[in-house]
Structure 1
Amino acid sequence: MTHVDRSSRSNLNPSPEASLDPSGGYVQGSLKWAIALTASLGAILEVIDTSIVNVALTDIQATLGATVSEVGWVVTGYAIANVILIPLSAWLGDVFGKKAYFVFSMVGFTVASVLCGFAVNLPMLVIARILQGLCGGGLLAKSQAILFETFPPAEQGVAQAVFGVGVIAGPAIGPTLGGYLTDTLGWRWIFFINLPIGIAAVVMALLFLRPDVKRRSRRRTKVDWWGIGLLIVAVGSLQTLLEEGEKNDWFESGLITVLAIAAVVGLVCFVWRELSVRNPAVELRVLRYRALAAGSLYSGILGMGLYGALFAIPLFAQGVLGFSATQTGLLLAPGALASAIVMVLLGKLSTQVDARILVGLGAIGTSLVMFNLAQITPQSGTDDLFWPLVWRGATTVLMFLPLSLATLGGLPTREVSAGSGFYNLTRQLGGSVGIAILTTLLAQREAFHRAILLAKLTPYDLQTTQRLESLTGLFQSGGADSVTAQQQALAALSQTVNLQAAVLSYADIFRFVGVVFLCSLPLLLFLGKGGAGAKAPVGH
């Protein structure tokens, strides 16, 4: 492997001579940091737009005259398109060129964002969001692959830290930014805000990304249309099932049953197809690397904790504590800031310490935070949640950054794009699975706790009788007659039961996430050492 020596030319010269060694070596000087910023900017936009819409759905519904189930497709359409394109990003980059594909994805994402902002009806908005998701899927996996191909192993920690700041902090920044823009300028601005950032990212990509190395055989490769079609069926059905399952009472719905069958059959046929053709759309053979296979599985668990916990906390803040969207965003902001700070500090350390140790510490730390959050009560407030959320942001980083290095750092350069696509896909699907599981578990546990609490509220229970008499007297003192006061007392008692059941159910799912992370620890035995012991990728 030959490293490029450009110390005397460390300016941001985008010419091929300054950016690419004839043997395909790593970039030197300040140009590599311009590439890192460019790639990370694309990833940040994609991740933020995954969650920025959530807080604006009510306003979108009112403006476009949609039902609750219809407006949900603004989120679902984006998610489905996103997970379909992520595994295809390596093949598309090979066919069209990595730089060309990244620029195309960035332009498409920006244009789709503008179309979302100008949508005059729900179908137009959903179609634009699907287009946005298709382009965004290419940005996420390609951004990480670009960094691995730009920086040498000794600097991968810092480079991946730049990328990781957006991926980790994005799910928390999205609702904060979305709530503020929706409350002050209107929901359309959650899409228009992407325009100046997208234009800047496109210009930077054109200037700084390494030129594509042309391959004569690249455009002669036969397109694996069957593989692409089976991928769409398998992943699209699975993502739709996860997004819509809880709303449709899971397998009580014929649609969900059909989607489950389509997902299983499509996945089996897809795997068989991709392993049997010479030029597959998704290179599954890359999973022969043990570190990638184990790391991708762990990435799914990380996605459950990262997106699942961040899904539950806003629900608790708004549904139980009565926070507004903006207040909820501000509640999550310190944790996002903690993630960014720890990510930067960990950047250098992660290449010197065994990644398995850091991931293990992060998993244990996140479990402890989840068990701490499980101590919530109906009286819990911002002060009670501040430090647990800050520590959650910090401990999650201990898993994310070292896991990326341990999973992808030892891959041959020619396999990085395929490996990165699969790795990011499992994290996205893990998040969807986590949200689906936690949503269902939340509803089931709330019904369970409510039934237990109601069983104790009988006319023969002294405390219940005294509580009803106290509430009835309180309402009578406010001017209500005896019958009305008794009805109001019963309603107030029922509301108290519902609140307590909700708090107990949220405590249950926090404990569940904590247990999942503890149970994931044996997977560390199959990971590589990452920056502490990884060999430089071969294949330059």
Structure 2
Amino acid sequence: MATTHSRLPRSSRQPNTDNSGYVRGSLKWAIALTASLGAILEVIDTSIVNVALNDIQATLGATVSEVGWIVTGYAIANVVLIPLSAWLGDVFGKKTYFIFSMAGFTAASVLCGLSVNLPMLVIARILQGLFGGGLLAKAQAILFETFPPAEQGVAQSVFGVGVIAGPAIGPTLGGYLTDTLGWRWIFFINLPIGIIAVIMAIMFLRPDPPQRKIARQKVDWLGIALLAIAIGSLQAFLEEGERDDWFASSLITTLAIAAAVGLILFIWRELSIKYPAVDLRVLRHRTLAAGSLYSGILGMGLYGALFAVPLFAQGVLGFSATQTGWLLAPGALASAIVMVLLGKISSKVDARLLIGTGAVGTTIVMFQLAQITPQSGTDDLFYPLLWRGATTVLMFLPLSLASLGSLPKQDVSAGSGFYNLTRQLGGSIGIAVLTTLLDRREAFHKAILLAKVTAFDPQTNQRLDTLTALFQNRGFDAATAHQQALAALKQLVNTQAAVLSYADIFRFVGVVFFCSLPLLLFLGKGGAKAKAPIAH
């Protein structure tokens, strides 16, 4: 197997490849577009369904907890498959596996749209997650194996546009389709795009070169089973924990134990056999190990913080799903623009400098968002969200290059799978932590505010009298006006408590990014001249 710096004999080279095995000419850009299209579909479908849950619940007659499994089932299946994508690509061939995943994802999307009841929809979403898990990591690995180091920045920027903008595009597109055509179209929209992506993959992706036939070796069924138990239980624990009050629930406690025990046994298993389902030995590369840890933090900021903004916009500001989507759109556009510009210079600048700049910038943005008030509107959120989109990119693209760019070619698929897994899990952990923190801090602030709102407080009585007079002027009798005034005062307290709790979680995310800066010391420089680290 050729490494990044090896030269292949002319007789062993494929058409349209250079001496090092990288693709030449316009074909490499067709491959980049094909791989990125599959990744974009997978990322968008992670968030596109969130704004349609109320409509799905009403159509299928499901409860709030039941409809949550539409999201949870997809997430669990997705994270279980991501680390297996390298092994599956070796068994079936990278091109074959990518086409299979893309076709399966498209078919599962149609099945979601045709679902007539909740169990059918949940099963279809699980299938979507299983097929989608093979798209994200495999797409990034294909790019690293297609482009030489000097062009990785531009290539990864094409891939990164979709991954970064996807969480913002999803709610925007989902809200529009749900409001205009109905929730089923958030799945049907994948059909034409998926068909185009499959055709492009068949036309442009390179045939798999001769390689070690892992398919002939004994399949690590035990490793696969332990992975499913460990990662599946962890994802379910994160998705359902807050809803069931964490360890107050026996189910959540069981999931936590299963995740911990399964993870320990999985690591032992994969390190003790010759042909593991997931090659954990790839973490011997220090840059990948540190980058994967940082990727988890980035996932928390990318998905976790972005998850809080729609909640604030809809819950406090009263925005519709479509309005919330448009609120996030400028940030997504900023991400795309900065990603393209960064792709041209990332190979010439130390990745750690760019990542550090992005982390500090994101910290500042989070503290800006923490200045929100009940009177905050679109104008107050526009620039912070715009800068959030730009600063996040400064971490995403250089981190990918610093973590994966120096790996030998034979380790890229396994490294990419692990790297993308940590980002996905980081997002899940971030959402779980921020949801819990939001709930606890809102209760805390409400208790503090209510302690001051008493019948003996002059300001409270003055506000109550003003509200009562206001409702009387609207035609209510004295008793009804007083009840309306009390309800309005309660709503003011609830709104203020919610705003203060959102400010707390924005500050929390900012502090986390600032505290992550020491990890930069363990990352590589990235760029075109990066060399594979020595295995220890």
- 1:429 corresponds to: 425
2-structure distance, mates of 1:234, 1:288: 22
Deviation of 1:214 after TM superposition, in Å, equals 3.4
Equivalenced residue count is: 529
1-structure distance, mates of 2:413, 2:121: 31
Aligned-CA RMSD value: 1.6
1-structure distance, mates of 2:397, 2:533: 18
Query: What is the DSSP-based 3-state SS (H/G/I as helix, E as strand, rest coil) of the residue aligned with 1:351?
Result: coil
Q: Which amino acid aligns with 1:258?
A: T
1-structure distance, mates of 2:143, 2:117: 39
Deviation of 1:220 after TM superposition, in Å, equals 1.1
Q: Which moved more, 1:467-476 or 1:129-138?
A: 467-476
- 1:319 corresponds to: 315
2-structure distance, mates of 1:442, 1:124: 33
- 1:161 corresponds to: 157
Deviation of 1:536 after TM superposition, in Å, equals 6.8
Per-residue CA distance 1:490-513 (angstroms, 9 max, x = gap): 111110000000000000000000
1:415 and 2:414 are equivalent in the alignment: no
Query: What is the DSSP-based 3-state SS (H/G/I as helix, E as strand, rest coil) of the residue aligned with 1:444?
Result: helix
1:304 and 2:300 are equivalent in the alignment: yes
Q: Which moved more, 1:410-419 or 1:59-68?
A: 59-68
The answer on whether the counterparts of 2:150 and 2:347 sit within 8 Å (CA) in structure 1 is: yes
The answer on whether the counterparts of 1:3 and 1:26 sit within 8 Å (CA) in structure 2 is: no
1:393 and 2:389 are equivalent in the alignment: yes
Query: What is the DSSP-based 3-state SS (H/G/I as helix, E as strand, rest coil) of the residue aligned with 1:70?
Result: helix
1:439 and 2:420 are equivalent in the alignment: no
- 1:189 corresponds to: 185
- 2:483 corresponds to: 487
2-structure distance, mates of 1:4, 1:114: 43
1:133 and 2:129 are equivalent in the alignment: yes
1-structure distance, mates of 2:209, 2:182: 44
Q: Which runs of 5+ in 2 are unaligned?
A: none
Deviation of 1:434 after TM superposition, in Å, equals 0.1
Find the partner of 2:232 among 208, 232, 236: 236
1:80 and 2:80 are equivalent in the alignment: no
Deviation of 1:482 after TM superposition, in Å, equals 2.2
Q: Which moved more, 1:212-221 or 1:460-469?
A: 212-221
Find the partner of 1:29 among 8, 25, 28: 25
1-structure distance, mates of 2:15, 2:175: 43
1:371 and 2:367 are equivalent in the alignment: yes
Measured at CA, do residues 408 and 481 of structure 1 come closer, stay the same or move farther in structure 2, by a change above 3 Å? Answer: same
Find the partner of 1:295 among 291, 315, 318: 291
Deviation of 1:479 after TM superposition, in Å, equals 2.5
Find the partner of 1:452 among 444, 448, 454: 448
The answer on whether the counterparts of 1:173 and 1:336 sit within 8 Å (CA) in structure 2 is: yes
The answer on whether the counterparts of 2:178 and 2:185 sit within 8 Å (CA) in structure 1 is: yes
- Fraction of identical pairs, as percent: 81
The answer on whether the counterparts of 2:302 and 2:392 sit within 8 Å (CA) in structure 1 is: yes
Deviation of 1:470 after TM superposition, in Å, equals 1.2
2-structure distance, mates of 1:50, 1:483: 50
Deviation of 1:391 after TM superposition, in Å, equals 0.2
Deviation of 1:481 after TM superposition, in Å, equals 2.4
2-structure distance, mates of 1:325, 1:265: 40
Q: Which amino acid aligns with 1:483?
A: A
| TM-score, scaled to structure 1 | 0.96
Measured at CA, do residues 278 and 354 of structure 1 come closer, stay the same or move farther in structure 2, by a change above 3 Å? Answer: same
Deviation of 1:237 after TM superposition, in Å, equals 0.2
Q: Which moved more, 1:212-221 or 1:409-418?
A: 212-221
The answer on whether the counterparts of 2:305 and 2:509 sit within 8 Å (CA) in structure 1 is: yes
- 1:118 corresponds to: 114
- 1:18 corresponds to: 15
1-structure distance, mates of 2:84, 2:293: 19
- 2:51 corresponds to: 55
Deviation of 1:355 after TM superposition, in Å, equals 0.2
Measured at CA, do residues 60 and 274 of structure 1 come closer, stay the same or move farther in structure 2, by a change above 3 Å? Answer: same
The answer on whether the counterparts of 2:145 and 2:409 sit within 8 Å (CA) in structure 1 is: yes
Q: Which runs of 5+ in 1 are unaligned?
A: 7-15
- 2:168 corresponds to: 172
Deviation of 1:2 after TM superposition, in Å, equals 5.5
1-structure distance, mates of 2:511, 2:534: 38
Deviation of 1:476 after TM superposition, in Å, equals 2.1
2-structure distance, mates of 1:91, 1:137: 13
Query: What is the DSSP-based 3-state SS (H/G/I as helix, E as strand, rest coil) of the residue aligned with 2:278?
Result: coil
Q: Which moved more, 1:374-383 or 1:476-485?
A: 476-485
- 1:471 corresponds to: 467
Query: What is the DSSP-based 3-state SS (H/G/I as helix, E as strand, rest coil) of the residue aligned with 1:213?
Result: coil
Per-residue CA distance 1:384-417 (angstroms, 9 max, x = gap): 0001000000000000000000000000000000
The answer on whether the counterparts of 1:355 and 1:532 sit within 8 Å (CA) in structure 2 is: no
Deviation of 1:378 after TM superposition, in Å, equals 0.4
2-structure distance, mates of 1:472, 1:499: 19
2-structure distance, mates of 1:181, 1:378: 29
- 1:91 corresponds to: 87
2-structure distance, mates of 1:152, 1:193: 34
Q: Which amino acid aligns with 1:380?
A: S
- 1:503 corresponds to: 499
Measured at CA, do residues 187 and 58 of structure 1 come closer, stay the same or move farther in structure 2, by a change above 3 Å? Answer: same
The answer on whether the counterparts of 2:299 and 2:425 sit within 8 Å (CA) in structure 1 is: yes
The answer on whether the counterparts of 2:246 and 2:252 sit within 8 Å (CA) in structure 1 is: yes
| TM-score, scaled to structure 2 | 0.96
Query: What is the DSSP-based 3-state SS (H/G/I as helix, E as strand, rest coil) of the residue aligned with 2:415?
Result: helix
1:337 and 2:323 are equivalent in the alignment: no
